[in-house]
Structures are given as structure tokens and as C-alpha cells.
């Protein structure tokens, strides 16, 4: 079941600070909070599974609260929930799944009873977005996608836009996550992100600042001195007839610009083998042995690399 994918702060969505609570809301002894999500709530994917929990400051037996959810101001869900004892407090919760697109508002209401007074929580707001992003689309869904990819160290583009840079990030993520290799940002991508897929497993964390080329997944990872991934890029390595050399090497020469072979911003790590930009970077091994990257990424990769930077090339 798909979990909620969220942005951590209102600014990440370009929303005013007043549009979001800090992940929960409270008023007069009644609080609610969304959980099963990645951080404080800013947006949730349509039809994702998520959870609302709440606390009543003082437990009284046989009490209930009503949970009300509106989408774009129209009621879409009303649910009455039993309050259970937890210490001196009362707790309640519900698993929710709501489709559509727009603004969700959630509020819990405790009607006055003979044993306990009326209480109404503050409103919790979420943006409900489609679990698919089209090329060139500018949307909250694109921001969620970028936020999740960036957290895994994939290189994304302009905020909120499913541009070419972000499409290449999706390609790299799909490779590492074991999804079909393409640029489509659809529900399986959001599902995999929610499930925690796509983490690059560093093979040599103690090596310090270095590059790892994972030929199984057809990606390279730039690893910082602290042994933490800084960036991940999709590559195309050597085809079967001209395979990429395996082992541990070091960058010995860098040649900016385009050479006679059409290689862009080349970083040589063994004889004629280099990490470089190239017009064609298919989702499978297709080079003459080099590690090809998308041309717009080549310069930033070259600027990160130094002469002597170790390069580890392996299959998983």
C-alpha cells in the first residue's frame, strides 16, 4: 500500500507558512497529527495510505470524536472514532486513503457530553496531488518527487518542474530501485520512494572521497570524504564487445570541452577509459568502455573530480 510522500517544510512547496501546521494541530485539549509520512505534512499523494492520530488531554470513558475531512471545501469523509485510554490521556486514530487532487483540511470534533465538554482541534491542511508527473509539468507533485529524490542524493532540476534534469534523476532512481528503466514518473516511482527504495549502497565507505561505478545498476555515485553519497548519476558503461575495465583506479587526466571523439569534459581513470558526457546515454551498456553521462551533468562532475580521485568500478 502506498504511504504518503511529503515535503518537510512549507517553503519547499512554495506555500505560505500559515498554510501548514507543524505536522499536527491542537485546540482546547484536542490534538491531531498525520503519521505514516516522511516528516511534517505538506502534501500527500492521491490514493496514498496515511494515518491520522489524536490525543484528548484528559481521558473519560465512553467518549468519541468525529473526524471530518474536506477536499477543496467539500466534505469527503466523516468518521466517528472511539477514544481509548493511554495513561491519563485519551487517544484515537484512523487509517485513511483519499483520492482526487486539491486541498485537504482535517479536523477532529468532540461534541459536549455529560462527562466532558466540547472540543475542536485546529485544522490540519494538506495538498492532495496526483501520483504521476508529466514531462515539463510544474506542480506540487513534481516538488514532492524532487524532494524525495534529492533526499536520496539524485540530482534534480528547477524546483517544482519535471524538467530534463529531474527526468535523469528518475532514470537513475529507477535503475537503483530495480524498476523499468525510463523517464516516467508515475505511481510505481512514488510507491518505491515511499517504500524506501533507491538508496545507493556504498561498497567502500572507508575510502574517503571517491567515485563508485555500479555497472549492475548503470549509475555512478560521488562519495564525500565522510563516506556519504553526495550525488548519483545515470551512466552507460561499456557494451559486451568493449566492456568497461573493473577494479580500483584514480583519475590521472581531465580534458575540458569536446574532443575529436565527441567526448565532453572527460575524466580519464585508466588508459583511454574516462567518465565523460556524450550525446547518447542509453539505459544499458553501450559505450566503447567509458562511463557516459548526460552532457549537462558532465561539467559539474568534472568540477567535483580532482586529479587522483579514486574510481572503483564493479558489478554488484
Tens-level pLDDT at each residue, the chain (316 residues): 344 443 332 333 333 333 333 345 545 699 998 765 543 436 778 888 888 999 999 999 999 999 999 999 999 999 999 999 999 999 999 999 999 888 889 999 999 999 999 999 999 988 888 888 999 999 878 888 898 899 999 999 999 899 999 999 999 999 999 999 999 999 899 888 878 899 999 999 999 999 999 999 999 999 999 999 999 999 999 999 999 999 999 999 999 999 999 999 999 999 999 999 999 999 999 999 999 999 999 999 999 999 999 999 999 9
**44 has which bridge partners?**
128
- Is 158 in the same domain as 228? no
- Is 185 in the same domain as 212? no
C-alpha distances in angstroms, 125 versus 14, 25, 78, 103, 259? Answer: 14, 9, 16, 7, 54
Give the per-residue pLDDT at 74: 95
How far, in Å, CA of 149 to CA of 170, rounded? 8
Q: How many Cβ atoms from other residues are within 10 Å of residue 192's Cβ?
A: 19
Indicate whether 1 belongs to any domain: no
Give the per-residue pLDDT at 250: 98
Q: How many domains does the chain have?
A: 3
Which residue, 170, 194, 218, sits at the end of a domain? 194
Indicate whether 4 belongs to any domain: no
- Is 120 in the same domain as 189? no
- Is 57 in the same domain as 105? yes
- Is 219 in the same domain as 310? yes
**248 has which bridge partners?**
312
Indicate whether 200 belongs to any domain: no
- Is 33 in the same domain as 52? yes
Which residue, 129, 150, 179, sits at the end of a domain? 129
CATH of the domain at 92: 2.60.40.10
The pTM of the full predicted model, rounded to 2 decimals, is 0.76
Which distant-in-sequence residues (6+ apart) come within 8 Å of 93 by Cβ?
Answer: 51, 52, 53, 54, 81
- Is 183 in the same domain as 211? no
Residue 115 domain boundaries: 10-129
Give the per-residue pLDDT at 25: 55
- Is 179 in the same domain as 232? no
- Nearest C-alpha neighbor of 148 from the set 288, 259, 19, 42: 42
- Is 119 in the same domain as 154? no
Indicate whether 162 belongs to any domain: yes
Q: Apex CA 250: angle with CA 246 and CA 253, to 5°?
A: 115
Q: What own/partner pairs with CB < 8 Å and gap ≥ 24 does 203-206 have?
A: 203/312, 203/314, 204/312
- Is 70 in the same domain as 169? no
Give the per-residue pLDDT at 42: 63
How far, in Å, CA of 312 to CA of 316, rounded? 12
Q: Would you state the cell numbers that stand for residue 238, as one nine-digit string? A: 561499456
Q: Would you state the cell numbers that stand for residue 211, as one nine-digit string? A: 567515485
Indicate whether 156 belongs to any domain: yes
- Is 218 in the same domain as 113? no
Indicate whether 117 belongs to any domain: yes
Instruction: Label the pairing between strands 119-120 and 102-110.
Output: antiparallel
Q: How many Cβ atoms from other residues are within 10 Å of residue 304's Cβ?
A: 15
Indicate whether 154 belongs to any domain: yes
Q: How many Cβ atoms from other residues are within 10 Å of residue 308's Cβ?
A: 9
Amino acid at each position: 500500500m502506498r504511504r504518503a510522500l511529503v515535503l518537510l517544510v512549507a517553503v519547499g512547496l512554495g506555500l505560505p507558512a500559515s498554510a501548514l501546521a507543524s505536522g499536527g494541530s491542537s485546540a482546547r485539549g484536542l490534538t491531531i497529527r498525520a503519521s505514516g509520512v516522511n516528516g511534517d505534512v505538506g502534501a500527500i499523494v492521491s490514493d496514498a495510505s496515511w494515518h491520522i492520530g489524536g490525543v484528548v488531554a484528559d481521558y473519560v470513558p465512553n467518549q468519541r470524536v468525529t473526524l471530518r475531512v474536506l477536499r477543496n471545501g467539500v466534505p469527503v469523509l466523516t468518521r466517528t472514532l472511539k477514544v481509548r485510554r493511554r495513561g491519563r490521556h485519551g487517544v484515537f486514530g484512523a487509517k485513511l486513503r483519499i483520492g482526487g487532487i486539491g486541498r485537504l483540511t482535517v479536523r477532529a470534533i468532540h461534541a459536549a457530553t455529560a462527562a466532558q465538554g466540547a472540543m475542536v482541534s485546529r485544522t490540519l491542511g494538506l495538498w492532495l496531488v496526483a501520483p504521476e508527473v508529466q514531462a515539463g509539468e510544474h506542480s506540487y507533485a513534481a516538488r514532492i518527487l524532487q524532494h524525495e529524490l534529492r533526499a536520496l542524493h539524485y540530482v534534480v532540476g528547477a524546483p517544482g518542474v519535471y524538467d530534463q534534469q529531474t527526468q535523469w534523476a528518475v532514470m537513475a532512481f529507477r535503475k537503483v530501485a530495480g524498476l523499468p528503466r525510463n523517464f516516467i514518473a508515475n505511481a510505481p516511482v512514488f510507491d518505491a520512494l515511499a517504500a524506501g527504495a533507491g538508496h545507493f549502497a556504498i561498497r567502500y565507505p572507508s575510502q574517503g572521497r571517491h567515485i563508485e561505478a555500479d555497472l549492475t545498476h548503470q549509475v555512478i555515485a560521488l562519495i564525500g570524504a565522510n563516506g556519504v553519497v553526495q550525488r548519483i548519476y545515470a551512466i552507460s558503461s561499456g557494451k559486451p564487445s568493449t566492456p568497461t575495465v573493473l577494479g580500483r583506479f584514480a583519475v590521472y587526466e581531465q580534458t575540458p570541452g569536446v574532443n575529436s571523439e565527441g567526448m565532453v569534459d572527460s575524466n580519464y581513470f585508466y588508459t583511454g577509459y574516462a567518465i565523460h558526457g556524450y550525446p547518447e546515454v542509453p539505459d544499458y551498456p553501450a559505450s566503447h568502455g567509458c562511463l557516459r553521462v548526460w552532457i549537462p551533468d558532465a561539467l559539474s562532475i568534472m568540477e567535483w573530480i580532482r586529479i587522483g580521485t579514486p574510481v572503483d568500478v564493479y558489478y554488484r
